[in-house]
Amino acid sequence: MVFKSIASAVKQMLSEPFTMDFPESRESQPDNYRGIHKLDISTCISCAACAHICPNQCIDMVDTETQKGTKKMPEIHLERCLFCAFCEEVCPTDCLILTKDYDYEKYDRREFILRPEDQE
């Protein structure tokens, strides 16, 4: 019984580690993974469909200065998001997509608010 435990411990010591050097190396994500949102403000038509369909109401339409003047653009609060991708599905111009990025390490909770002008 004791020898079996020692053999198991030696086997674990000689095997490859399970951890990885994050953020230098990252896991590959499957094709259907839904991560942080990406907004293309040049193709957004300010229809607010994404804000209306969001089940957690994590998308607010805010005034944003663009090249064509002031427009209402989606501001996304990631701390409330379910990552259900309803906003991506309902977008008529495909300007709002969910990327494979999963970098959720923040020091301030205000960094979880994705402002439209910050996503250019």
Three-state secondary structure of 72-113: EEEEEEHHHCCCCCHHHHHCCCCCEEECCCCCCCCCCHHHHE
Flag whether 4 is in a domain. Answer: no
Whichever domain contains 64, its CATH number is 3.30.70.3270
pLDDT per residue as tens digits for the range 11-51: 888 888 777 776 677 778 888 889 899 999 889 999 999 99
Flag whether 15 is in a domain. Answer: no
Flag whether 3 is in a domain. Answer: no
pLDDT per residue as tens digits for the range 103-113: 777 888 889 99
Q: State the pTM of this model.
A: 0.74
Flag whether 46 is in a domain. Answer: yes
C-alpha–C-alpha distance, residues 1 and 17, integer Å: 26
Report the number of distinct structural domains present in the chain. Answer: 1
C-alpha–C-alpha distance, residues 75 and 62, integer Å: 6
Beta bridge partners of 64: 71
- Domain enclosing residue 84, as ranges: 30-119
Residue with the two structure tokens 């990406």: 38
Beta bridge partners of 96: 39
